[in-house]
């Protein structure tokens, strides 16, 4: 799994002119899924995201997690995180899981995040043409890949 985690002051997802998710302070997570992803990837990534110390403490130092801030989350599926751009100018998405594999893993990830966070997690609509709006706070943007745990 790959995730782009963005600390936001606010974020929303619109599908067909309807707001399907909206948060104030928290995280917008763009999530890419490949066929090799497992339940272990889901558990590891969820815990990593909610425990990242990327929120400011009272001294203005990034020293608090989403849990400590009682922040909100929106998770949006994004197969383009697996774009391969080595050859030519048209990216290949061959490594991204097809919907029959990706949808169950996406739903499992949402459920794991809700369990770990202890509250409802916002989501996009898998496969829909989504309009994602955000106000990146910082800006703070972090890339995480479960196959490359650096």
pLDDT per residue as tens digits for the range 134-149: 999 999 999 999 999 8
pTM recorded for the entire structure:
0.95
pLDDT digits (tens, 9 = 90+) for 36-68: 999 999 999 999 999 999 999 999 999 999 999
Q: What are phi and psi of 31, to 5 degrees?
A: -120, 125
Structural domain spans, the chain: 2-145
Contacts for 7 with CB less than 8 Å, ≥ 6 apart: 26, 27, 54, 55, 136, 137, 138, 139, 140, 141
User: For residue 40, what are its two tokens?
Assistant: 């272990």
- Of 86, 88, 109, residue with least CA distance to 32: 109
Strands 2-15 and 26-32: antiparallel
Contacts for 119 with CB less than 8 Å, ≥ 6 apart: 72
Contact by Cβ (8 Å): 138, 8: no
* Confidence at residue 149, expressed as pLDDT on a 0 to 100 scale: 82
Specify the 3-state DSSP secondary structure of 55.
strand
The pLDDT of residue 150 is above 90: no
Q: What is the mean pLDDT of residues 10-38?
A: 97
Q: What is the dihedral of CA 100, 114, 129, 17, to 10 degrees?
A: 140
* Confidence at residue 61, expressed as pLDDT on a 0 to 100 scale: 95
117: enclosing H helix or E strand: helix 99-117
Q: In CATH, which of 3.90.1150.10, 3.50.80.10, 1.20.1280.260, 3.50.50.60 is domain 2-145? A: 3.50.80.10
Residues belonging to the active site:
80
Read off the DSSP letter of residue 97: P
- Of 25, 34, 33, residue with least CA distance to 6: 25
């Amino acid at each position: 799994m790959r995730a782009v985690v963005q600390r936001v002051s606010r974020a929303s997802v619109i599908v067909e002119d309807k707001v399907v998710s909206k948060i104030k302070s928290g995280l917008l997570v763009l999530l890419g899924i490949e066929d090799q992803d497992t339940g272990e990837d889901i558990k590891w990534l969820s815990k990593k995201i909610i425990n990242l110390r990327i929120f400011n403490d009272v001294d203005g130092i990034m020293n608090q997690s989403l849990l400590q801030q009682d922040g909100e989350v929106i998770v949006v599926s994004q197969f383009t995180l697996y774009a391969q751009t080595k050859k030519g100018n048209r990216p290949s998405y061959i490594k991204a899981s097809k919907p029959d594999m990706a949808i169950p893993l996406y739903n499992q990830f949402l459920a794991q995040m809700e369990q770990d966070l202890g509250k409802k997690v916002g989501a996009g609509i898998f496969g829909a043409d989504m309009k994602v709006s955000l106000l990146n706070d910082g800006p703070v943007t972090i890339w995480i890949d479960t196959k490359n745990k650096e």
